[in-house]
Structure 1
């Protein structure tokens, strides 16, 4: 039995979402602006109502404790036809416990299992070593790094891309939660 689950974001998630998105260590490599207000969290949750994974555009889903319902973090999936881009954010208290790997397996089961997409990729700041390690553990490969390719938080930043094909995912022994 899994200790965590994916579900739609709900109004009750707003305070926790706001809290971890305001943490400078969580926000360092993310695209949202600080401060991240409760109104920002409520607006994001409202925008996500009725969205499901696989739709074109970004869909943000909650990653929650299976027993308590506590918000552990969130995953973002941007549908792009037969491909998807992936993002992950974990609350500080959820980090370092293997939860991100469990959550990523659940997301990949939907992307490759029920949606049967061809490819998923993530674009990260290469200094985010925790994200790179997570992706590699999940079977992604480092596809390349573009140098100083985007402006982020006052500096030109490199962009590392990690990808995983459906055919590669099918043979991973770790794909089951």
Structure 2
């Protein structure tokens, strides 16, 4: 186990995750604000899961955590971190199966990841970007302590249209004051 919370385990992906990963990444509501297009083939999902399972959680670049509930093991979503080469900054993202949204799992998983990044690894800053139409994602970022730092109008070409990006940031100092208590 890489990270744990009272209800969740954040771990490496395994081949057993492919069917559930394929299902939630193929759901149109889940893919709506993401860079991929639904449906995701089982072959593509298997390749992603294999790549995610081989990544280094401590090194620069992206690492994708599989998220399980302790009470009923099985993949419910994933959270990702992109550690910058300087080792002091990171970007985060998250995706959860529709049936596991609205239960606080994303909040709990993201807080666990931020706690690890700020408290164990000593990062200075964590950033996130979300589609401005994705109000639930924006509320999640704000709930765990991120501050909205900007809006990039019509910045991203996504699925045949220009979309606005919301930019969020969280400094270690703010995490110590606010996020760590959540």
What is the TM-score with the length of structure 1 in the denominator?
0.94
For residues 9-158 of structure 1, the aligned pairs below 5 Å read 9-80=13-84, 81=86, 82-158=88-164
Equivalent residue number for residue 175 of structure 1: 180
Report the RMSD for the aligned CA atoms in angstroms. Answer: 1.4
| Gaps in structure 2 of 5+ consecutive residues | none
Shift of 1:33: 2.7
Runs of at least 4 residues off by over 3 Å: none
How many residue pairs get aligned? The number is 176
In structure 1, how many angstroms separate the alpha carbons of the residues matched to 2:91 and 2:174? 16
Equivalent-residue separation in structure 2 for 1:16 and 1:5 (angstroms):
16
Question: TM-score normalised to the size of structure 2?
Answer: 0.91
Q: CA deviation at 1:176?
A: 5.3
On the 8 A contact 1:105/1:176 being kept in 2, the answer is: no
SS of 1:49's equivalent in the other structure is: helix
Q: Show structure 1 runs of 5+ residues with no match.
A: none
